[in-house]
Amino acid sequence: MQSIYWTGRLLSRALWNGIASYSSACSSEQQSSTAIVSSRRHEASLVSAVCGFPKDFAWSRIRRGQFGDDAWFTARFRTTEVIGVADGVGGWRYYGIDPGEFSNFLMRTCERLVSMGRFTPTEPAGLLARSYYELLENKQPILGSSTACVIILNKETSSIYAANIGDSGFVVVRRGEVVHRSSEQQHYFNTPFQLSLPPPGHSDLVLRDSPESADTSSFGVEDGDVILLATDGVFDNVPDQLLVTEMRKIEGERDPTKIQCVANTIAWMARRLAFDAAFMSPFAQNARENGIDAIGGKPDDITVLLATVAI
């Protein structure tokens, strides 16, 4: 009974973290919304919410911008809005390294660079690169590796610029159909592209992709589009059909509470299916396509950053 009590408390904290994170990210936007609408009626913006869960509630720290080894951020500068997620590679924990430190530094640096205007609005891969190189030059080495995905919205042109390294990613739904999605980057099954900083003397033993190797894309968005940005804990466990069904519910929605509810639903669905040993998850299907007899979900940290486009 005690374990149920603590799980309940931690689950509530995780959900509240998502709601509180939405509030802190968007409060300034809400306060200035009247002025924006009156002066820039046709300018695009994102109405977003976030929710997530660590894989292991027992030891994970729940803090703003992080769920387990996953990290995320939202930021804005002038005519741009930027959102991003990163997934620290959990295997580093076996070597006494906290995988969440790498992903968190990457996202916090992206957030700071955007807030200061130190990025090119059409080059999300460049933003990731600048954040990564700052990590490499940090006086206190931050060892580990991480996948990452960043999306930049140009509010004046209603254009999206995206960069993805590894198996985090995004999906865009319009009028009930998927119109854009990121391409997963894998060296081989369950081994995604990743930004890395290995311990001294281990460079040859660790996968180390450059930020310039990110898969990039750009496209226009329309009023009412729904954007899901998430780590692989979502895509490995929730079939596309279920994701699209939930995303359809908020097409054209501008009420942040309703967007938050759907973000919570997707995150909780991913969490539940991840621990369903009898479910034929997308991860299990991919494993079988690679000659591995597998069934069930894949327990993992989960981050859902959900947004609608308002023009």
SS (H, E, C) the chain: CHHHHHHHHHHHHHHHHHHHHHHHHHHHHHHCHHHHHHHCCCCCEEEEEEEEECCCCCCCCEECCEECCEEEEEEEECCEEEEEEEEECHHHHHHCCCHHHHHHHHHHHHHHHHHCCCCCCCCHHHHHHHHHHHHHCCCCCCCEEEEEEEEEEECCCCEEEEEEECCCEEEEEECCEEEEECCCCEEECCEECCEEECCCCCHHHCCCCCHHHCEEEEEECCCCCEEEEECHHHHCCCCHHHHHHHHHCCCCCCCHHHHHHHHHHHHHHHHHHHCCCCCECHHHHHHHHCCCCCCECCCCCEEEEEEEEEC
Q: What is the pLDDT of residues 209-241, one digit of tens each?
A: 999 999 999 999 999 999 999 999 999 999 999
| Region 74-89 average pLDDT | 98
Tokens 């930027």 label which residue?
82
Note the pLDDT tens digit of each residue in 258-309.
999 999 999 999 999 999 999 999 999 999 999 999 999 999 999 999 999 9
Residues of the chain above pLDDT 70, percent: 86
Q: Which domains does the chain have, with CATH numbers?
A: 2-310 (3.60.40.10)
pLDDT at position 43 over 90: yes
pTM for the whole structure: 0.89
Residue type, 125: A
- pLDDT tops 90 at residue 22: no
Asked if pLDDT for residue 4 goes beyond 50, the answer is no
Q: How confident is the model at residue 202 (pLDDT cuts 50, 70, 90)?
A: confident
- Does 31 score more than 60 pLDDT? no
**CB within 8 Å of 96: residues ≥ 6 apart:** none
Residue 48's Cβ-side half-sphere holds a number of Cα atoms within 13 Å equal to: 31
Phi and psi at 220, nearest 5°, equal -85, 155
The reported pLDDT for the residue numbered 11 is 52
pLDDT digits (tens, 9 = 90+) for 158-197: 999 999 999 999 999 999 999 999 999 999 999 999 999 9
Q: Please give the average per-residue pLDDT across 38-49, as a whole number.
A: 80
Strand partners, 89: none
Residue-wise pLDDT for 111-133, tens only, equals 999 999 999 999 999 999 999 99
Length of the chain: 311
Tokens of 100: 């969440």
Confidence of residue 42 (pLDDT cuts 50, 70, 90): confident
Whether 37 has a pLDDT exceeding 70, the answer reads: no
pLDDT at 28 over 50: no
Comparing CA positions, the residue from 47, 69, 62 lying closest to residue 10 is: 62
**For position 205, what pLDDT does the model report?**
81
For residue 8, pLDDT beyond 80: no
What are the residues facing 149 on neighbouring strands?
A: 85, 164
What Rg, from alpha-carbon coordinates, does the chain have? 19
Please tell me the predicted confidence (pLDDT) of residue 30: 43
Q: Which amino acid is at 70?
A: D
Residue 143 and residue 102 in contact, taking contact as beta carbons nearer than 8 Å: yes
Confidence (pLDDT) at 41:
59
Query: Rounded mean pLDDT of 7-16?
Result: 49
pLDDT of residue 24: 40
User: What integer best gives the mean pLDDT of the chain?
Assistant: 89
More confident residue, 73 or 95: 73
